[in-house]
C-alpha cells in the first residue's frame, strides 16, 4: 500500500481541489474543510483556512504549503480489496483530490479513520514526511475544531513519533 501512496505523492497540480474540479465531497476532512468550495489557487485555499484560524486563536497557514499532491483523504482498510490478479485495489475515490500533503496527514489521524494497523499508518506518515509538518498539522487541527471536529493530527503524530 505504501507504494501506492508514493505514486500518488508524485502526482501534483497547481490548482487545489477534487480531481474532477468539482466541489470536495465525502465524510472525511476534505468535507469539513472544503465542501461547497472550489479554489482557483493555493492562496485562496490558504486565505480560507486562515479565516477559520482567526476564529480559534489565530495563526496563519499563508505560504506554508509547498505543493499540492494527489491525496486519497480516506486511506482505510475498508477501501482496499485484492483484485483477481492479487494486486491491491483502492476503492472509494470520492474524497480524493489535489491538496497539501498536510491534509492527507491529518486525515490519517482523524478520529475513526486511522488504519487499525499502526505500523501501516506510521509507514504512510513517513512517506508524507509527517514529522517535519507537525506545526502545520496542528494549525489545521485548529481549523478542524472551528468546523465542529475534535482535536486530531498533532496527537497522532506525537504517538507515532514516540513508538
Q: Give the total number of structural domains in the chain.
A: 1
- 11-52 pLDDT, tens digit each: 999 988 877 776 665 544 445 555 566 788 899 888 888 888
Cβ-proximal residues to 30 (8 Å cutoff; 6+ apart), any chain = 18, 24, 71, 73, 95, 97, 99, 103, 107
Q: Does residue 163 lie in a domain region? A: no
3-state secondary structure of 154: helix
Q: Give the chain's mean pLDDT.
A: 75
Residue 72 in domain: yes
pTM: 0.76
Phi, psi (deg, nearest 5) at residue 128? -85, 10
Q: What is the CATH number of the domain that holds 121?
A: 3.90.1200
Question: With contact defined as beta carbons under 8 Å apart, do 48 and 62 qualify?
Answer: no
Q: What is the dihedral of CA 95, 101, 105, 108, to 10 degrees?
A: 20
Its domain, for residue 9, covers 2-157
Amino acid at each position: 500500500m505504501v507504494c501506492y501512496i508514493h505514486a500518488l505523492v508524485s502526482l501534483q497540480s497547481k490548482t487545489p481541489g477534487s480531481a474532477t474540479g468539482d466541489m470536495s465531497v465525502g465524510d472525511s476532512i476534505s468535507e469539513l474543510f472544503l465542501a461547497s468550495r472550489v479554489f482557483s489557487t493555493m492562496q485562496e485555499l490558504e486565505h480560507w483556512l486562515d479565516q477559520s484560524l482567526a476564529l480559534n486563536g489565530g495563526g496563519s497557514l499563508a505560504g506554508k504549503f509547498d505543493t499540492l499532491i494527489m491525496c486519497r483523504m480516506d486511506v482505510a482498510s475498508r477501501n482496499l480489496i485484492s483484485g483477481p490478479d492479487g494486486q491491491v485495489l483502492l476503492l472509494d475515490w470520492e474524497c480524493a483530490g489535489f491538496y497539501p500533503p498536510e491534509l492527507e496527514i491529518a486525515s490519517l489521524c482523524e478520529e475513526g479513520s486511522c488504519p487499525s494497523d499502526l505500523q501501516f499508518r506510521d509507514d504512510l506518515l513517513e512517506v508524507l514526511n509527517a514529522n517535519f509538518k507537525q506545526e502545520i498539522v496542528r494549525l489545521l487541527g485548529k481549523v478542524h475544531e472551528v468546523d465542529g471536529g475534535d482535536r486530531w493530527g498533532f496527537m497522532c503524530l506525537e504517538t507515532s513519533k514516540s513508538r
